[in-house]
Amino acid sequence: MATATTSPAAATKILTAGVCAPAELPEEKLREALAGAGHEVAFWHEEPSEAIEACREQEIELLLWATRRPDSRWLKWVRALSDASPSTRVILICERSGQGEIRKALDAGAKGFVSLEDVDLALPAVIDVVRAGQVCVPESRSGELGKQVLTAREKQILGLVVMGMTNAEIANQLFLAESTIKSHLSSAFAKLGVSSRSEAASVILDPESGAGLGILTISTS
């Protein structure tokens, strides 16, 4: 553990779980971003489960959680943290994120979002907003905060994807052009915050995501 302290009265413990390789989020980058902000910074490089337990035991106020992308595994960890330590607020720091993934991260329990390239400029301000009990995301991504609703056709096609059918097979099943299937899948993937069939199936089959509602039970006839 490496610690930098200022005034104890103003200090907040910030736990960063090492879910990214050091090259992706160097400790020095966080130190520079938080320099002079009055925070007590504890650096952790442990498995997510161990970091979650540390938050619970030490009553960590903020968890800066770094990841390449907020995938389904990351979402499970955030939900587990919410159960284990409800008072810990999560700020997501990620290298990249797809359309709809910020919405999914917030639904899982994250309270703030910072892209890795904006850490130096944005992180201190995001921390202040989240500590004040607000949710903070970049203005450029605010349009993603509304719930993305799948159409009946998108649900139908996703159900067939989960069954392992190819685009051509789905097109034959539904009497549609294969290009139409691809278009529906592109729209559905964006709404689910995924970029592949396997990711979509993983999210839909995950009971904690809630994405399978209306997909796994919809008629494919």
Would you kindly state where each structural domain of the chain is located, as residue ranges? 3-142, 152-205
Is the domain defined by 3-142 classed in CATH 3.40.50.180?
no
CA distance 94 to 68: 5
- Which residues, in sequence order, are CB contacts of 30 under 8 Å at separation 6+? 16, 41, 43, 64, 119, 123
**Cα distances (angstroms) measured from residue 149 to each of 63, 74, 122:** 30, 22, 30
Span 152-205 CATH architecture: Orthogonal Bundle (1.10)
User: CA nearest 72: which of 207, 184, 174?
Assistant: 207
CA distance 136 to 94: 14
Task: For the full predicted model, state whether its pTM sits above 0.75.
Answer: no
Spans of the chain, pLDDT less than 70:
1-12, 14-27, 36-38, 40, 43-46, 99, 144-148, 208-213, 217-221
Burial 22-49 (b: 16+ CB within 10 A, else e): eebbeeebbeebbeebebbbbbbeeebe
Per-residue confidence (pLDDT) for residue 162, from 0 to 100: 92
Per-residue confidence (pLDDT) for residue 165, from 0 to 100: 94
Signed CA dihedral, 209, 214, 217, 221: sign only = negative
CA distance 63 to 189: 28
Please provide the average confidence, as pLDDT, over all residues in the chain. Answer: 78
Per-residue confidence (pLDDT) for residue 144, from 0 to 100: 67
